[in-house]
Amino acid sequence: MTMSLVAVGRVLLPSFSGCCCSCLVFKRSMGGYSSCLLKSEHYDRKATKYWNDFYKRHHNKFFKDRHYLEKEWGQYFSTPTTIATTMNSTDVHSSKVVLEVGCGAGNTLFPLLDAFPNLFIHACDFSPNAISLVKSNEDFREDQVNAFVCDLTRDDLCQRITPSSVDVVTLFLQKKCLWYCRI
């Protein structure tokens, strides 16, 4: 992505190739001076506030549960049958630990736990409201889910999870939730 300057009235604004018009500028006037911020920078700085507001408004009703994961990714969450036959039936999935990054309201973790009841899932999100929704879900069990607030761009995940202790990491990005100039 390359940047150039575009004149809008008397103001020079940054323009990025590959960036859509809708994310060009967030403009604010202050005492005769104009300051311009790219919308993405504005929303990056206030992301926690906006995601908290989002989950306050929509609760767990916006995104659909990902029930297809058992069929599509089942081999990643289950133990090979040769090992499973030699193990106690309650230990079949005990070796699998999952990290769900950006867990939201639990639309991935609860379908996974339903399909693979012996998984242990670390679920993090930087919205405290999202973590509250996960913990208030009727299927939430502390012995299966470690749900916590974490901003992976700032926080050290190794303070919450032992390094090299996770078998599978899930991270679902919603295109409609990202600024196109970031993709």
Residue 61 has pLDDT above 70, yes or no: no
Q: Which residues pair with 169 in a beta bridge?
A: 99
Residues 88 and 140 in one domain: yes
CA angle 105, 109, 126 (to 5 degrees): 45
pLDDT-derived band of residue 106, with 50, 70 and 90 as boundaries?
A: confident
Helix axes 128-136, 47-58, angle to 10 degrees: 30
Q: What is the CATH number of the domain that holds 115?
A: 3.40.50.150
Q: How far is 106 from 61, CA to CA, in rounded Å? A: 11
Residues 70-80 pLDDT 10s:
777 777 777 66
- Give me the mean pLDDT over the 81-97 stretch: 52
Residues 152 and 167 in one domain: yes
pLDDT score, position 34: 39
Ranges of H-type helices in the chain: 39-45, 47-58, 69-77, 81-86, 109-115, 128-136
Residues 12 and 99 in one domain: no
The whole-model pTM stands at: 0.59
Residues 127 and 67 in one domain: yes
Q: What is residue 36's three-state secondary structure?
A: strand
pLDDT score, position 144: 94
Residues 58 and 35 in one domain: no
User: Which residues form the domain of 32?
Assistant: 3-45
The total domain count for the chain is: 2
Residues 117-139 pLDDT 10s:
889 999 998 888 889 889 999 99
Residue 88 has pLDDT above 80, yes or no: no
